Amino acid sequence: MRFTREPRPLFRSLMLAGFTALCAASGAATAADVSLYTTREPQLIQPLLEEFTKDTGIKVNTVFVKDGLIERVKAEGEKSPADLLMTVDIGNLLDLVEAGITQPIESKVLNDTIPANLRGTNNQWYALSLRDRVAYVAKDLDVNALTYEAFADPKWKGKVCIRSGQHPYNTALIAAMIAHNGAEATEAWLRNVKNNLGRKASGGDRDVARDILGGICDVGIANAYYVGRMKNAEPGTDARKWGDAIKVVRPTFASEKSRGTHVNISGASVAKHAPNKENAVKLLEYLVSDKAQSLYANANYEYPIKEGIKLDPVVASFGPLVVDPLPLAEIAKHRKQASELVDKVGFNN
């Protein structure tokens, strides 16, 4: 398996011009291979791809594209060696579809495994793992249930921590709030959450745990899988101390339309001009197999898309995940409006 890191913008145009020729000369894609373009850090998916090759004999040639995935595939055009396109965040995945660089596929395995609300209505994209947006709560607080709406309660004044409102994880959550409660109510909610912040909306999700340990805040909103990483870190490390300072509570929406927890996803689409479409579908189907889903759950601490998969003990301790049944595509319709509300209320200021 070969991993290639996307070049910096200064060299990107030169690389695009010669990419297809270079791939052919180096044997990067053959009839027995599948080429994966991914915005995910390679080390996060390498164990899954290695197992796929071991089980099937199909080599995976992987190109890590941190930025500009759509532009790259468009520039390569019909000669693009890309077979499968993988991203995190539903918005990024739908952007691929809207850019016209994906194609629908037919797979009984995928359709039988992945719930309808977690795949494209025309089979142009599929979720592969779940990333639930949860509450980090100071471990000594007597709080074992929350709604997302509750973060606007004045009782949390000066006690909430969160990363930038413009981060895709948060714009997706805000978009879900719009889908459930409407734009006007969501704007009021966002203003009140801002009023409850213990520090500027910034940093990353693990910084929420860090700042709970530091007494800057009592609760925060972040992704659950980071807690798996922190609580499984070596004892005595900063990450382990942060993880040990918190507990996870899975919030739900107060809306009658859903009593579930908001999730984002990692997912993939088959490229429009995939030269190895059959192998791309095989890789997708492998990624929802019991073996691959177990790796998602126990190596990355993400929640598996498939039921019945044994979870990492830390993740299992969070209790059952009841997913918001609202289709992700419906939530994603409100992404732009969510971003505009973040700026309108000055959430990051």
Show binding-site residues for Fe cation: 225-226
Annotated binding site: 225-226
Give CB contacts under 8 A, 24+ apart, made by 277-282.
277/83, 277/103, 277/105, 279/32, 279/33, 279/34, 279/58, 279/83, 280/34, 280/83, 280/84, 281/105, 281/107, 282/34, 282/56, 282/58
CA distance 133 to 118: 16
Residue type, 141: L
> Which residues, other chains included, contact 244 with Cβ-Cβ below 8 Å and sequence gap of 6+?
139, 230, 231
Give how far Cα 337 sits from Cα of 179, 180, 206, Å.
11, 14, 27
Closest CA to 272 of 64, 151, 100: 100
Helices (H) and strands (E) in the chain, counts: 15, 11
Burial 185-201 (b: 16+ CB within 10 A, else e): ebbebbbbbbebbbeeb
> Which residues, other chains included, contact 155 with Cβ-Cβ below 8 Å and sequence gap of 6+?
none
Sign of CA dihedral 132, 135, 136, 137: negative
